[in-house]
């Protein structure tokens, strides 16, 4: 459980080599494309009938219509436990507060007298939001996907989540209740790659979308890769992961609990402790078995912690630890060190950073106000988490008057001929000759 990697006592390798030494879940999306491709093509060609047959075969649910009735969405909210409803309402309020500050305003720049460029921010027309429902029904993901889309001003929002045999072939009631609280009334009981195909091609009453967001399993991710271009996607999400950078001031009880909480998601989830303290590492390893035994999904957690994607990395100092976590580029990164905020401000690569002993990843999963749809598998080196920006497109409006164009006609002419594109130059020169 949680194998050790000792990087103390010698210079750290380069970033690429270091990243290769660190624990990471192996997911081969290409390997499942052969399964996903005919499934998506079947939905494209046969539409709703294909969706019905695939859902019956894979999910054990045979429903003539996979659109969730409005009354079922209302009923889910009516039946929601008051404590869960209150928590969802608080989560929605906090996520809205944070994401409202991400709203973009149009900006006009006067380049010269008579010449301006305006950047307009325009929401996508229609989005499909995927909410997983396999090992855990992620009702919190409804909040994380819907709220930024609404703040961006997306006019048409559809949600898809897998049907549950225990709930009459409908998605999890908590997912439906979250949709009701957010005012989303277009929901489909369809999961996996077939849900992405429904969004991409349209099927039944679901019209095609322009963008698909939300996490999912490897089949969902493969379908997103396959349909990318036809639709926009947020990311190719892999198994979830947490890295914790800790020194001897960290509480081993907290550290063990946080590693376990992320391992609870999936047998492929990654849990990595990077520490300057061998004593802390020993204490965490001593605590983990007891904490795992006391929780519900112990088998799943043990599989994740025993896997090659999890481990303990020993480093000489916090600077070396920062180099390691930047090379790892975790989806979730906790900083439990002296001057945790100062250390966190030096992090370059992470989906989200959780600062200090009282900011566990679980807080961000639900109610911190941050977004929990984050880049995985090292993609935090170049990608960001879901935000209002995900649902917006920047469009430049170029407005020059006759005089402003005349002033740069010579420059256009010079550059056009340098690129051997004389018709470009002629399009400006002809205007000057009229």
Give the residue ranges of the annotated binding site for NAD(+): 130, 194, 217
Query: Cα dihedral sign for 32, 35, 37, 43?
Result: negative
Does residue 332 carry a catalytic annotation?
Answer: yes
- The residues, ordered by sequence, that sit 6+ positions from 372 with a Cβ below 8 Å of its Cβ are 140, 141, 144, 352, 364, 365, 366, 385
Residues in the chain: 434
Residue 387, phi then psi, degrees to nearest 5: -155, 180
Q: Are 242 and 335 in contact (CB under 8 A)?
A: no
Calpha distance 202→186 (Å, rounded): 13
**Alpha carbon of 143 to those of 107, 174, 180, 359: distances in Å?**
29, 11, 11, 20
Binding-site positions read 130, 194, 217, 240, 262, 265, 332, 365, 419, 424
Pairing of strands 211-213, 187-189: unpaired
Q: Which of 327, 123, 332, 306 has its CA nearest to residue 215?
A: 332
Calpha distance 172→328 (Å, rounded): 34
Task: Say which of 186, 241, 264, 331 is annotated catalytic.
Answer: 331
- Alpha-helical regions (H) of 264-366: 278-293, 298-306, 318-328, 340-344, 361-366
Task: Say which of 99, 167, 297, 332 is annotated catalytic.
Answer: 332
Calpha distance 303→221 (Å, rounded): 22
Q: What residues pair up with 118 in beta bridges, in sequence order?
A: 108, 397
Does residue 64 carry a catalytic annotation?
Answer: no
Catalytic residue positions, numbered: 331-332
């Amino acid at each position: 459980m949680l194998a050790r990697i000792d990087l103390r006592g010698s210079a750290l390798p380069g970033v690429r080599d270091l990243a290769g030494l660190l624990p990471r879940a192996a997911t081969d999306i290409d390997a499942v494309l052969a399964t996903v491709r005919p499934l998506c093509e079947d939905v494209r060609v046969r539409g709703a009938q294909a969706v019905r047959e695939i859902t019956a075969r894979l999910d054990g649910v045979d429903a003539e219509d996979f659109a969730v009735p409005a009354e079922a969405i209302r009923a889910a909210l009516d039946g929601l436990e008051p404590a869960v409803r209150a928590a969802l309402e608080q989560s929605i309020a906090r996520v809205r507060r944070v994401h409202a500050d991400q709203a973009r305003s149009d900006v006009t720049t006067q380049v010269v007298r008579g010449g301006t460029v305006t950047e307009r921010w325009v929401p996508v027309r229609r989005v499909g939001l995927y909410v997983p429902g396999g090992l855990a029904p992620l009702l919190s993901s409804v909040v994380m996907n819907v709220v930024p889309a609404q703040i961006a001003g997306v006019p048409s929002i559809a949600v898809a989540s897998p049907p549950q045999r225990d709930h009459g072939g409908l998605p999890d009631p908590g997912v439906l209740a979250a949709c009701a609280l957010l005012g989303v009334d277009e929901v489909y009981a369809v999961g996996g790659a077939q849900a992405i195909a429904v969004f991409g091609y349209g099927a039944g009453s679901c019209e095609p979308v322009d963008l698909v967001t939300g996490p999912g399993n490897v089949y969902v991710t493969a379908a997103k890769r396959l349909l990318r271009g036809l639709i926009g996607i947020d990311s190719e999400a892999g198994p979830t992961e947490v890295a914790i950078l800790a020194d001897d001031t960290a509480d081993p009880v907290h550290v063990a609990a946080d590693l376990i909480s992320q391992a609870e998601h999936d047998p492929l989830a990654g849990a990595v402790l990077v520490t300057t303290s061998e004593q802390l590492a020993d204490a965490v390893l001593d605590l983990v078995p007891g904490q795992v035994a006391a929780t519900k999904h112990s088998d799943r957690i043990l599989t994740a912690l025993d896997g090659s994607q999890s481990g303990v990395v020993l480093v000489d100092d916090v600077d070396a630890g920062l180099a390691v976590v930047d090379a790892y580029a975790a989806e979730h990164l906790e900083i439990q060190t002296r001057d945790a905020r100062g250390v966190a401000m030096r992090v370059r690569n992470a989906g989200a950073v959780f600062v200090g002993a009282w900011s566990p990843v679980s807080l961000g999963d639900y109610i911190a106000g941050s977004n929990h749809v984050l880049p995985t598998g090292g993609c935090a080196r170049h990608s960001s988490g879901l935000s209002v920006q995900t649902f917006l497109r920047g469009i430049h409006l170029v407005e020059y008057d006759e005089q402003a164009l005349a002033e740069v006609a010579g420059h256009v002419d010079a550059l056009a001929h340098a690129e051997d594109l004389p018709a470009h130059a002629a399009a400006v020169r002809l205007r000057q000759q009229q």
